[in-house]
Structure 1
């Protein structure tokens, strides 16, 4: 129960529903316990009437006795039916309170988990696969809900039924009660033992299910790679192998679970035999009536499910504890990036300073930046160039505070970035990542996603023109209402990049960061976008991370990174004069452009 303590806050939140549900269960069980007593009275009455009926054998009054008996039995039958209807009505109210409560808590729990997922830092997502995250918020929450609703309801039902039934049985015959109850504790212990085995195997099955979900998610997300390398058969075989493991584990669990019903039937049968035997002896001795035997047999059947449910409830609680433990592992994970001023909203001038910044990725231990220093004034444009793995993208990650620096500090407008409101910081930075991600929604919705207001169609179209993607979108059958598919799979690489640029620009950010965001566009489209950048970004601090040189953009400063260190820094002319890596890139790019022009001719 230690793991399940987390859920107590939800029980307190819905305490009135829970309390009402327990009251309704008690009322329902009270009317249920009255039914065997009515049946006992009816059976004893029938026996008395039959004896009297035989005494008057051959007399006319015998017919009157039969009519009275029939009428009386009809009254008893109606009373039993009425009690059953009242019991059923309160049972309905029980489900409307406790089961509905469990659904409300399930909703709240998923909200808590999802919100916590969103708060966690980027390194968390690099350590955990998506399939496992999905499984904990779906399958594990479902297991927990069984504890929140059915387990709580049946536990309350068990306690109240046992109290009412045993009290009624003891009032009739303590001796018969003792013999009747002998098999039931054995049943409870047996099923509890079976439930322990079920719990252990259920935990392993949940882990294997998470693995299956992860495999499926990765294959579906990377289906292009799978198909291009003709690995469909290999992936099917791998998935089938893991599915076989899951199947075998599930079959083993089903074999253990198969003991549940036979144990229950055997013990109930044993209790019934003891009741009839011992009760028969007491009837002969005149201690109880024949109706009491029928009453006790019904009581035994009433106790069967609650006593059996002890093991079943224990199994549900154990499975829920195993699932809640998995959920708690993530809920107990603290975000390494925190927002010091979550409510703050304000503009940024755009002065950026890196002071002796060293950064080591916490999940891999790779040093991405080593004692990096540079200053960028508000409104200036910076180009960061370097080979793959030189640390260019790490600069963008640190400016967005996806990570915090390992040592040194980053200043924006003279203030340490860790002291600036995180949400406000990210709201004021327009970022186009290298790995473009589009949501499975319309193009219009993907562009509007970047705005902190509800943009109209004209505004969305205007920024699509700025990103030189308007004509492409208009050429589609549904235009801006076209669904882009998962991760934008229906669009080309260049179209995805330009939609992503439009999404960043519609924020009207104070700082713009473009991470190799024009790599998939042609020269003419590139010129259109850069032409807009020269106008729109004139007074905005801009950082362009790239592998190539953009002749249509004038940069105030260019940094060449090599293994996380500044290899070169200066203006375009200064770096050309140095004859270093930057000069090599320019010469190579110019040679490629000449070759393209010659081929065109």
Structure 2
């Protein structure tokens, strides 16, 4: 898999991407506002706790008196003589501090829970839509991107988005409120000293902006290397028998170690950028705080402050370091989330499988198929895979496609099912261009058994009565199993038809898996049947049984049979010999033998083996 191809060609603007991501939170805006209120309460109580230290220090010092200090002068005004008695302060200040701490804890809980609820709801929706979108992508997309990279997007990339919404947004909102609250308090106490902080703000903003671009670039690389890790892992697991049989463990271990090490290297670059920027920002905040202390100790600056006001002011100034540090750290998670969201949105923005057909079939299909001067190539720069394919198939006729691998047989039937669009010519079904039919209507008319058998981690029954066949009766399913000669081994399974097959039905032999796939096609009972090497995994005895069943099922049904073993297509009504994307011979078995052409040569070669 080309890593360049796996990354988005035109990355979206970071702010635009994050805005698009937050649109998914709109349905949950009441809970989001509640979370924001919780964090606002948390931050306000945090600042209040610092302010209350002024009362505490004044109470143990000169006393809480009206006209002195910042907070003390307001509080003392409620007491006779403008002085709060020390005994009153003794119980009032601890109660105030306890109330503030309780409200602060409640605010943090409400904010954290509310934001987590919104975040997980957004991720659930995002992940579900991504899965649905992947199911709607055209076949050409899966030719360009391996399944491992798409799986990585659903699992790893979405989790990166989760951090940017839950953890990062939590810190962003909470610490922003805390920073603003502290700055407001500092400005109210002594605005001249507080202006010192703003001298360093442009430098901090520049660092955050520059490092943010670096974060997003590195995050894209991390996601791509994570796709490599997933890809190598998936191949090694799926092909474990080949790996062990051919002594490939050392090779696969080296591949995985290389992929994992590249992922580690990109992560370490991100760590350097993250921690380096945070350290610089911490130094700048510390420098600004030290400057304030230096200025505050200058003659004539603090004389108007009480000891409590001065201590609370310095405490608030020092407290700014934590939220500013947290805000600088959180940008790494936000940028990783933006990079992950960009990767996901490129899938969302990819064109769906084209379904321009609007026509609906109102009558049963007879099964007449016409290929009119059909041509196909996978993209404009690729060579032609099919060239000027032109033939007609009568209803109920069985047509076999034979030829060497790569001659275009499977591609031709893929065009019939509209997995790809022809680059020239057209295909007619009962005289109607299949491009005018909706995909669901067209594919409802086709049953297919390919050489790559797909069975799901579900019961035997559900694998046969799959998708649109789920409403089939048990009798219909059992009949399909019987016609596919699968009854014997199905009955031997622990729970018969209700046995769960496991991952890709590894508990079954290749022939057994293929017979279940045939049973699924038999149950669909469509007027068109495609058999792409449908008996390739069967032994001779099983093949004879299946051939007998298929011959019965293929009666009055238009059937396309792709086979390398020519002995399986001798009874076909017509045999088309393909080579380099063209039909070079056509006729039945006897006619092609008498012609002594390519078909006769292929049959002679197979017989001689």
**TM-score, normalization by structure 1:** 0.86
Q: State whether residues 381 and 543 of structure 1, in contact with CA within 8 Å, keep that contact through their aligned partners in structure 2.
A: yes
Choose which of 13, 29, 36 in structure 2 pairs with 1:15: 29
Please say if 1:470 is aligned against 2:490: no
Structure-2 separation of matches of 1:113 and 1:237 = 32
Structure-2 separation of matches of 1:422 and 1:551 = 31
Q: Give the equivalent residue in structure 1 for 2:53.
A: 39
Secondary structure of the residue aligned to 1:48 is: coil
Q: State whether residues 26 and 160 of structure 1, in contact with CA within 8 Å, keep that contact through their aligned partners in structure 2.
A: yes
Q: State whether residues 188 and 308 of structure 1, in contact with CA within 8 Å, keep that contact through their aligned partners in structure 2.
A: no
Secondary structure of the residue aligned to 2:412 is: helix
Choose which of 244, 254, 278 in structure 1 pairs with 2:271: 254
Matches of residues 357-506 of structure 1 in structure 2 within 5 Å? 357-362=374-379, 365-449=382-466, 451-455=468-472, 457-506=474-523
Alpha carbons of structure 1 residues 196 and 74: separation in structure 2 relative to 1, 3 Å: farther
Q: State whether residues 281 and 328 of structure 2, in contact with CA within 8 Å, keep that contact through their aligned partners in structure 1.
A: no
How far the C-alpha of 1:172 sits from its partner, in A, is 1.9
Choose which of 132, 151, 172 in structure 2 pairs with 1:155: 172
Q: Give the equivalent residue in structure 2 for 1:54.
A: none
Q: Give the equivalent residue in structure 1 for 2:372.
A: 355
Q: State whether residues 282 and 321 of structure 2, in contact with CA within 8 Å, keep that contact through their aligned partners in structure 1.
A: no
Please say if 1:217 is aligned against 2:229: no
Q: Give the equivalent residue in structure 2 for 1:146.
A: 163
Matches of residues 285-364 of structure 1 in structure 2 within 5 Å? 286-335=303-352, 337-341=354-358, 347-362=364-379
CA RMSD of aligned residues (A): 3.2
Q: State whether residues 102 and 148 of structure 1, in contact with CA within 8 Å, keep that contact through their aligned partners in structure 2.
A: yes
Alpha carbons of structure 1 residues 69 and 85: separation in structure 2 relative to 1, 3 Å: same
Q: Give the equivalent residue in structure 2 for 1:48.
A: 62
Q: Give the equivalent residue in structure 1 for 2:71.
A: none
After superposition, the C-alpha distances for 1:551-589 in whole angstroms (9 at most, x for unaligned) are: 798433332223222222233443344333344556677
Structure-1 separation of matches of 2:243 and 2:140 = 26
Q: State whether residues 219 and 335 of structure 2, in contact with CA within 8 Å, keep that contact through their aligned partners in structure 1.
A: no
How far the C-alpha of 1:70 sits from its partner, in A, is 5.4
Choose which of 171, 179, 184 in structure 1 pairs with 2:188: 171
Structure-2 separation of matches of 1:454 and 1:237 = 49
How far the C-alpha of 1:156 sits from its partner, in A, is 3.0
Structure-1 separation of matches of 2:404 and 2:17 = 49
Alpha carbons of structure 1 residues 504 and 282: separation in structure 2 relative to 1, 3 Å: farther
Alpha carbons of structure 1 residues 254 and 176: separation in structure 2 relative to 1, 3 Å: same
**TM-score, normalization by structure 2:** 0.85
Structure-2 separation of matches of 1:466 and 1:450 = 20
How far the C-alpha of 1:496 sits from its partner, in A, is 1.9
Structure-2 separation of matches of 1:245 and 1:68 = 68
Alpha carbons of structure 1 residues 551 and 21: separation in structure 2 relative to 1, 3 Å: closer
Structure-2 separation of matches of 1:390 and 1:553 = 20
Structure-1 separation of matches of 2:188 and 2:38 = 24
After superposition, the C-alpha distances for 1:148-182 in whole angstroms (9 at most, x for unaligned) are: 33333333334433433322222222223234666
The runs of 5 or more residues in structure 1 that have no matched partner are 52-66, 593-601
Q: State whether residues 494 and 520 of structure 1, in contact with CA within 8 Å, keep that contact through their aligned partners in structure 2.
A: yes
Please identify, of 258-267 and 572-581, the stretch whose mean Cα deviation from structure 2 is larger: 258-267
Please say if 1:76 is aligned against 2:93: yes
Secondary structure of the residue aligned to 1:138 is: helix
Structure-1 separation of matches of 2:607 and 2:153 = 53
The runs of 5 or more residues in structure 2 that have no matched partner are 1-14, 66-83
Structure-1 separation of matches of 2:299 and 2:334 = 41
